[in-house]
Chain A
Amino acid sequence: MEKKIMLGNEAIARGAYEAGVKVSSAYPGTPSTEISENIVKYPEIYAEWSPNEKVAMEVAIGASMSGVRAIASMKMVGVNVAADPLFTVSYIGVNGGLVLVAADDPGLYSSQNEQDSRCVARVAQIPVLEPADSAEAKEYTKAAFEISEKYDCPVMIRTTTRLAHSQGVVELNDRVEIEDKVYERNIRKNVMMPANAKLRHVVVEKRLKDLAEDACTMPINTVEMKDTKIGVITSGIPYQYVKEALPNASVLKLGLVHPLPKKLIEEFASKVDTLYVVEELEPLIEEQVKSWGIKCHGKDILTLQGEYSANMLRKAILNEEVKTEEPAQVPARPPILCPGCPHRSTFTVLKELNLHAAGDIGCYTLGAVAPLNVIDTTVCMGSSISTLHGMEKAKGKEYIKDWVAVIGDSTFLHTGINSLLNMVYNKSTGTVIIVDNSTTGMTGHQDHAATGKTLKGEATYAVDLIDLCHALGVEYVTVVNAFDTETLKKTVKEEVARDAVSVIISQAPCALLKTNVSHKKCVAIPDKCKKCGICLKPGCPAITKKADGTIAIDDTMCNGCGLCASRCKFGAIETVEV
């Protein structure tokens, strides 16, 4: 059998392939993005980037209703966007198997909160599988489709960043083609109006009960009896820390973390002296175990925040302090906008105009920190426009004359459109700047509805952002080259002063796009440098101040965007062709 080293996400994609999946839908979001990027490599599967997670979920639901196996994948905050269809498809159930991959981010590597999607699944009353490594990620994906079809319900696979972005060895199997299920009209099951939903709710409750009963004998839940002094109930990545820190402990490893196998847990608990529940984030397992009158330790000795590690368990459970060298006191290195990033140019203009920005989700969220300090607020995808509108309604149009909303092109198409529609409908004023870098940048360059390309790489209709804004009722729409700082500054001044909704599309492709090859470099001319430091203000990592006060430009980092040269009044930086 062929063995391959795979990312957790790559293994989920392989699992979907082997399970005979025919439709995959998603919106990019760390740490889920690579699932779709790998699924698309299998020509047997139709795969798409949908404009947002709600749409992605509904696409997968439609595919399932028609009788094929379908998978939707998203990061955990995307699950919130998809919650509406998710909570109701739980009542409807499936025809072809339906799987949702929810990628959580304990430790907040690239997210705005640290929510635990297992809790969402519990409220939505759907089963949750939690793999612990790449090999399990593949096998559990296949198991999820079996459970989905056997119990007539959508199934969540919950991953975390540490699983999604860790590579491990996976054995590859062949794809099994699944015959399409027959579609039959059944409005009692598929049309969720009150009379039907009431009956389906009964089915949902019975289904969960059956699943909990059957979970006691499912091979996906395993008991490893060793020394009985310490017993641990765990699942997912924390299982690895348990095995590393407590190699002799007895372990109940749950593959199905919702609903829980009560009898199996009671039996396990009765055989061990002290029981621990080891789970990252919320005490989902612990609280249920305790509700059955079983004594255990969990969040009384372990944190609710961030990731765990073997050393953390050694300390909390064994009282073993692992002595290590003190870390050196070094300057922090937070993420920054790349050299040549067009957002830096837009933010430099906003900063020079002393404007506040209601921000959004993307690389440009980094405009909140030094030295740019332009973005004041960031909540979630699409929120920049609606929060600006809320301020205008609360405080009046004069109040937001020194504010703008800043949103990326992909984020605008995700959930910004509704917010802009609302501004026009409810007679707001205010300026929205769409920082259009022609891609979904932060997640690593995914296409969207305005790029003219599908996930499969096929040419398609590219929605015109100008026409779209006009169609929503925005009269004043201006397109400016993001690096033309003079024009951009003039335009922003004019539009912010206007008593109407206006949109400025600040346009320039992401500096990292493969299609965006620069043949320019910026060169410092020390003789002309007056050491004023204005070129350092935009915070480009390619420029540093030398000991004598003049500046140096790192030619391996610089991509010749010319922003620094445009700031220098003394001609001490030249942009040259290379």
Chain B
Amino acid sequence: METKSIMIVGVGGQGTLLTSRILGGVITSAGYDVKLSEVHGMAQRGGSVVTFVRYGEKVYEPIVEEGCADVLIAFERLEALRYAHFLKKDGVLIVNDQRIDPMTVVTGAAEYPENILEDLSKKYKVMSVDAMAEAKKLGNAKVFNTIIVGIAAKHMDFAKEDWINVIEKTVPQKTIDINKAAFEAGYAL
């Protein structure tokens, strides 16, 4: 099997690391070699963050290079646009339809681009969702990232049960039920 490359991008503090931990768990339970590369430290403070995930028979390079990602999971629209060129031609782009203004936009030094999703749809296969709204429907805005995991799961080759098993092992004990519900909601979208 050829090595698969996945990227998870977003804004520091959005919880992308939890998503990569779940993804890493699912890949490992399927018996693949895997490498995940994360961002910790200062860049996590509201900056643009990216996690690289590569898996297959034997993985060397821990990062995904431009034009090589099979799936790009973006937690925010502008970040989807920033990293879209990392996708392969037939790559899948999953976008949380949320706008978080970077400080450059807040201070007026730059403008937040319009029509991001429409423009990206012309080039890539785009699945977008307002995960925050979906999470609020479930009564807990914090689980929006697990909704995104549910959507991503539909576009990857692992059994649904494996995802649920890993979620049970990864999230805090008292949030297992709400996270499972969020995964199911994402999976059904």
Contact indicator A133/B40 (Cβ below 8 Å): no
- CB nearest to B64 among chain A residues: A309
A contacts with B: majority SS: loop
Decide yes or no whether A226 CB sits under 8 A from chain B. Answer: no
Which residue of B is nearest A539, CB measured? B103
CB-CB under 8 A from B41, the residues of chain A are: 30-31, 109-110, 442-443
Residues of the B chain whose Cβ atoms lie less than 8 Å from the Cβ of A324 = 66-67, 85
Contact A331–B42 (Cβ < 8 Å): no
Instruction: Determine if B111 is an interface residue (Cβ-Cβ < 8 Å).
Output: yes
A335 touches B65 (CB 8 A): no
B-side contacts of A545, CB under 8 Å: 106
- What CA separation (Å) do A462 and B3 show in the bound complex? 51
Evaluate whether A241 and B61 lie within 8 angstroms (CB atoms) in the complex, with A328-B81, A328-B85 already known: yes
The complex places the Cα of A133 from the Cα of B35 at a distance, in Å, of 9
Q: Chain A residues near B173 (CB, 8 Å)?
A: none
Q: Is A219 an interface residue (CB 8 A)?
A: no
One digit per residue, 1 when the CB lies within 8 angstroms of any chain B CB and 0 when it does not, for chain A 445-459 equals 000000000000000
Q: Does B37 contact A (CB under 8 A)?
A: yes
* Separation of A433 and B103 alpha carbons in the complex (Å): 25
Complex-state Cα separation, A331 to B99, whole angstroms:
13
Say whether B85 contacts A327, CB under 8 Å: yes
CA–CA, A331 and B106, complex, Å = 11
Is B158's CB within 8 Å of the partner chain A? no
Q: Which of B35, B78, B123 contacts A166 (CB 8 A)?
A: B35
Q: Provided the pairs A30-B41, A109-B43, A168-B35 are in contact, do residues A331 and B105 lie with their beta carbons within 8 angstroms?
A: yes
Check B82–A322 contact: CB distance below 8 A.
no
Whether a CB of chain B sits under 8 angstroms from the CB of A332 is: yes
Contact check: which of B36, B62, B101 meets A240 at CB < 8 Å? Answer: B62
Query: A243 within 8 Å of B by Cβ?
Result: yes
Query: Shortest beta-carbon distance, A311 to chain B, in Å?
Result: 5
Q: Which residue of A lies closest to B24 (CB)?
A: A5
Task: Collect the chain B residues with CB atoms within 8 Å of residue A338's CB.
Answer: 13, 45-46
Closest to B123 in A: A325
For B81-106 the 0/1 string (1 means CB < 8 A from A) is 11011000000000000001111111
A326 interfacial contact with B, CB 8 Å: yes
Complex contact B106–A30 (CB within 8 A): no
- The verdict on A366 contacting chain B, using a C-beta distance below 8 Å, is yes
Does A166 contact B36, Cβ atoms closer than 8 Å?
yes
Closest residue on chain A to residue B47 by CB atoms: A335
Task: For chain A, residues 244 to 264, give those with C-beta under 8 angstroms from any C-beta of chain B.
Answer: 244
A326 CA to B84 CA, complexed, in Å? 10
B159 located at the interface, meaning its Cβ lies under 8 Å from any Cβ of chain A in the complex: no
Q: Which of A528-557 contact B (CB under 8 A)?
A: 536, 539, 541, 543-545, 554, 556-557
Given contacts A162-B63, A165-B37, A334-B47, contact A325 B85 (CB under 8 A): yes
Q: Does B132 sit at the interface, judged by CB under 8 A?
A: yes
CA gap between A34 and B38 in the complex, in Å? 13
**Residue B113 lies at the interface, judged by CB distance under 8 Å to chain A:** yes
Interface pair B24/A167, CB less than 8 Å apart: yes
How far apart sit A492 and B36, CA to CA, in the bound complex (Å)?
Answer: 47
Q: In angstroms, how far is the closest chain B Cβ from the Cβ of A283? A: 22
Are A332 and B67 touching (Cβ within 8 A)?
no
Q: Does A3 contact B (CB under 8 A)?
A: yes
Given contacts A166-B37, A333-B104, contact A237 B112 (CB under 8 A): no
Q: Chain A 311-328 against B: per-residue CB contact (8 Å), 1 yes, 0 no?
A: 100000000001111111
Which interface residue of B36, B46, B62, B81 has the most chain A CB atoms within 10 A?
B62
- Give Cα A331 to B113, complex, Å: 8
A1-45 with Cβ < 8 A to chain B: 3-5, 7, 30-31, 33-34
State whether A541 touches B35 (Cβ < 8 A): no
Minimum CB–CB distance for B49 against chain A, Å: 9
Q: Is B12 an interface residue (CB 8 A)?
A: yes
Query: Do A336 and B36 contact each other (CB < 8 Å), given the known contacts A166-B62, A539-B103?
Result: no
- The interface of chain A, by Cβ under 8 A from chain B, is 3-5, 7, 30-31, 33-34, 109-110, 133, 162, 165-169, 237, 240-241, 243-244, 309-311, 322-328, 330-338, 363, 365-366, 369-371, 442-444, 536, 539, 541, 543-545, 554, 556-557
Can you offer 11 A-B residue contacts whose CB atoms are under 8 A?
Answer: A109-B40, A109-B43, A166-B37, A168-B36, A243-B60, A309-B63, A324-B67, A336-B45, A363-B45, A444-B40, A557-B100
Q: Which residues of B contact A (CB under 8 A)?
A: 11-13, 24-25, 28, 33-48, 59-63, 65-67, 78-79, 81-82, 84-85, 100-107, 109-113, 123, 132, 141
Q: A168-B34, A539-B107 are in contact. List 18 more A-B contacts (CB 8 A).
A: A5-B24, A7-B38, A30-B42, A109-B39, A110-B42, A110-B43, A166-B37, A168-B35, A237-B62, A311-B65, A325-B84, A327-B82, A327-B85, A333-B103, A335-B45, A369-B103, A370-B109, A541-B100
